[in-house]
Structure 1
Amino acid sequence: MSDGQPIPDQDFEEVLQYLKESRGFDFTGYKRTSLMRRVRHRMSQIGVDDYTDYIDQLQVNADEFSVLFNTILINVTAFFRDQEAWTYLREEVIPTLLAERGPDDPIRVWSAGCASGEEAYSLAIALAEAMGPERFRQQVKIYATDVDDEALSHARHASYAERDLQSMPPELATKYFEQQNGRYSFRKDLRRSVIFGRNDLVQDAPISRIDLLVCRNTLMYFNQETQAKILGRFHFALMPKGVLFLGKAEMLLSHSRIFDPIDLKRRLFRKAASGAGTPAHFVSHAMVHDRRVDLRGIDALREHAFSASPVAQIVVTAEDVVALINQQAENTFGLSAKDVGRPLRDIDISYRPVELRGYVDQARLERKSLRIKDVEWLRGPGESTWFEVHVNPLVGADNAILGVSVVFHDMTAARRLLEDLEHANRQLESAYEELQSTNEELETTNEELQSTVEELETTNEELQSTNEELETMNEELQSTNDELQTINDALRERTTELDRVNEFLESILTSLRAGVIVLDVQMRVLAWNRGAEELWGMRRDEAEGEHLLNLDIGLPVADLRPVVRSALSDGTFMEEVKLTAVNRRGREVLIRVVCSSLRANGGEPDGAILVMEQQED
């Protein structure tokens, strides 16, 4: 394969093809090593060794698809996961992104691979903090997508347990979540701006015109070829200067041609101005879609404005409205199609890198071309670009002013060459001065040597001081070690107490004649007492850790699913049911099952307890 993995078993490829054809899930782009490991793990859980037999199992058991997909699609997420990267996004990237857009421009965000929604709501909180809730509601749309329908259903409810909010600053949790029945729900007025939907990054079309695209620790599951395909779609989805935010486990070293790093350590990238995957863009198209005023004489304007060479150029009408912007101007000054139709005074280029409006008025009134030399533009710290700006009036056939063309000629290379020549001349002049100063330098050499000896003596004293500091540090480390020993002793005592409590609880479960099953919130078996072993003939080590619905016993566990789910959602739930079952001796018996909620300290459900007794005829 393209990413160096071994060629997978053909039978395994048939499993992937069956999943694609029957359920529309295309896993062929996933890394085979991890994918095969997860499928084999699921097969071992149900006792199937052959891929062909597993396809048969999928054909006869529709519920097996859901279990397999949950095994493959490991949804590991949290609010503001990787705090350092999120802090940088909130403090540096989002303010810059908002500054580059107008106060009324829509902000479109895509959370790809959103899992159960924590990432999407983290983005909502970060933007609402930067913009204010009112402006957030008016301008922002967050599109959150995943291939896992169960995770999307969870995300749409926007309801989380207290432990899910532990990674969030308390002041944000209080501000953006409302507590209801022991759970925390995201604010409804902001929730409307977050739209959840199913999207397969490999097969489905990307969402377009995105300003910020977040896809964290999702690409790592795909092979290199599929990653390249997805990144190409991301590049197409992003607006010019749009930002891509990846996870710590992902890199873009092979895709620098379409994304430029903002902060490589924190995996933040900006869409490159040009590169593979960039859709064709023409000013005339943008003008049709985003025109704010009636641009009369547009044919004459286009004929005059774009007859020049491909340098940065804009054209304004006689009423000082921006009519045309060429591609080079967009790339150089960060303009876009949305600036077409706006008054010149409303865009940054009207005063930066040079105050244009006065020159435009002069060229229009005097009907003569103007040349502005030595215009410096600071792209960034230490990054100066020099322009010679030509302002040309555009006169129509009837001698009327149609508008003004402004052309920015990049003179940076020529200026640097001139500076290099001047620098070389200065070097020649200084060479003679250096020869004259050589004798003086030789005379000062002895003085410098003497100074060096004094510096060495000072260094020796500093080393002595450093040695004393190290001795002090060693004493502090010894003290810390003593404190850690004390903590270790306390932890050992706590472990002993926990062992006694566990033995006490074990003795209670063992003493009960009735069968007792304790389940966690995922319906996995936590405890299985001797009464349960006597009823169903399944040992404790066979049952514990298994999903209740996967237990192969005489009890019709599928009939218990509704009452168990009720117990998991209601901390006060208790209900009795009677079921016909087959005990370990193969006899048909009537079983009385009492299902109640297992409550945590805060009162919220933390599992369920099933108490089973055989009823006498």
Structure 2
Amino acid sequence: MLYQDLLINVTSFFRDTDTHKYLKEKLFPKLLKRKKPGETLRIWVPACATGEEAYSIAMILLEIQGSQGSTIPVQIFATDLSENAISKARIGAYTKQELETVSPKRIQRFFTKADGNFRVNKGVRDMCVFAPHNILRDPPFSRLDFISCCNLFIYLDTAAQKKAVNTFHYALNNDGFLMLGKSENISHSTHLFTNANNTYKIFSRKINSSAPRLPDLAPRFAPQTAADTPVSSAPSYKSQNNSLSSNSLDFAIDTVLLSDFMPSSVVINHQLEIVQFRGTTDVFLTHPKGKATFNILKMARPEIAFELRNAISKVIKTKHRFRKSGIELKINSTVRFISVEIVPLKIEWNEPLLLILFTEQEPAETYTAQGNTGKSNTLAKDRRIKKLEQELASAQADALTLAQEQEAFTEELQSANEEVVSSNEELQTVNEELETSKEEIESANEELTTTNQELQTRNDLLNESYEYSNAIVSTMHEPMLVLGKDLRVKSANKAFYKKFGVTEEQTEGVLLYDLGNKQWNIPALRELLEDIIPKNSQFYNYEVKHTFLNLGEKIMSLNASRVIQKTHREQLILLVIADITEVRHLLIEKELKEKALLHKEISERKTEKLKLEKAVDERTRELKEANEALEDKNKELVNMNHELEAFTYISSHDMQEPLRKIQIFSGIILEKENQQLSDNGKKYFRLMQQSAQRMQQLIHDLLAFSRLSAAERTFEHINLGILIEEVKTEFNETILQTHARIDAPETCVVRIIPFQFRQLLHNLIGNALKFSNPERPPHIKISCRNSKYDKLKIKALSPSKEYCHITIADNGIGFEEEFSTKIFEVFQKLHGKEEYSGTGIGLAIVKKVVDNHDGIITATSKLDKGTTFNIYIPASPKK
């Protein structure tokens, strides 16, 4: 555990932007261009930590191949000492914070979100091979084109750096490149590499024949035996002029023996290439004519080449040493008998190695043209016959071995054939499964079509219900208001606006008692209205006599009852106003006539009385009919409210369910059947998803807008800076992408409804980021201060209150000043949806939140000069 903790795993994606840009635009295209068809681009990333550097290089290469249409295979070897880091790299899962340096475009293309993290796609992972590795001890990779070893040398001493550079020189091709960190260099190994780009620390490999063929590694040999243990020398002694230790003496003796009595030998790999020479080998090996080669069979003399091939084959197969004696080698007129011993080297290396020892077995014989006796002739023939018999027995054994290998190969071929047949059956099964999947897709498509038709039908019903309810309200002759729980006007019909000569902007969101010249601010009426929702009460024919603006003195009859919207869980008050001024004047006229009749004769009075009573009865009947008509209108309003409740229910539930099905089914098709869909089919499914998402957002915003009135108004003292930081966290990714700057006060305590004001900040800051000028980074300034009315001098504010003035200003695209009030209307958008997305409800929500705080909001702007929102809310709660 301590060892793992000591390892340094500091890395990130695209750590050096400029360097990776150079790799993408210059170096990697050059490496891919010089690769021939069938060749592989091989890259090594030592000390890769948790894999970010390797995956960054893989993403860059995929982007290059996509733009150039290259099909050259790429293989990236990524190694590290830490097995824990390698395990994480193989999984390829990273948090959002670890991807801060990756662009959203790359995240969308190369990552898949899973379990709250982002995982590298399989196509990128398949390019990378992760393995534990020590570059100072373990054998390196070979035939590499590029090595990225950034910020490793800063942790190594000079000796270790030299050793690592030697390893990299061996691993790279002649035209390969090495990249180091910005603070690293290879000044101690300039004979191996030359500087290709000093800015980005990229070096090219020199073709250096003096460099060792194999790097100077520390191979792990088999445990030392007793025979390998140095024998201690005799006790050391000292003389007056000379002093020599036993170790120095042993080393000197070993040096003489190795230099003068080294047996003729070579080291080869399994490709039969000679790696090293030892001793004098010119008696056994020669240089063949033609192209230079280190192949042991081509360099061996013809007399020993065949035996050498068989012996090497046996050692590779058995992995045991093998000795072949009695090989006759004739050089000029001299015949030599030699033996060949092949020993597998048991060391850890990047490839297996074999040691071949050549030794002379018997003294050489010299043949002359004359002088040979008959006895010598006979002995030579006997020796020759014996040798031939031995070679015949050896050839028979080789033939038997070859037959056995042929038989084993035939069995393996038969087994492979059976596997091919089995694979064909599996492919047939897969084909059947694909057919089944196709049928399932067709079925899902039919379900989507049916769901779409149902959604269209529901939408038509919704439109019909809305139009029907709207027609009822608009055709009523009596003025009507819908009040919220806080007695602010939520809506009014056309009769109200016509009767009192006001506009929607002057009415909606305004407290009932502040309408007009505050004609409704009557204590008794306030008491009645404030009791309706808590006590579920109602009242009829409450009369108000007042001099109204534009109307003069009028007598109004008020009728009110509670209305509940179940879907929004909102309680409203329906207030109907009837002008009974003429009725009251008729009653007064009746009283005057009655008094006048008192002065007339009794007969005339009786006659007139009868006439008057008849007129009174007629008037009474008319009043009764008027009251009955008013009650009928109240019932119509109740029915209309029920229909509005049904409309809200449909919006929040029935429409969202089909939308979710459309998104789920279209997502399944795009994910699982992507290969079977045409480009147009993929396009239409994506358009379907986008349309469903926009409609779902619209429904969500409508519900949020309507809930603002139903929500409980619980005020709290809150530091505005905390809410601003929470909103900035939500837009963190957008802020990083656009390099936005948000200046806000650290401390500003206000009395607000926290969740509503947080929604206000979210909408205004989100709009400032969305509608920013692409030519400059967004800059948002937020300020907050308390001011009295005499400093603000805004008519809509109360002179007796102190207000908190909050300003939110940006440097975005702005808008024309004529739209400064229109932007707060529902569904109001000043820009096309192709340029900027949205539902047109965001600023309407902002306006309603400010209204819920008994405040006002204004907007000032100029095209391309930014926008400033001024918010004024009471600095203390309303009494």
TM-score > 0.5, shorter chain as reference: no
Question: Structure 2-normalised TM-score?
Answer: 0.25
Question: Structure 1-normalised TM-score?
Answer: 0.35
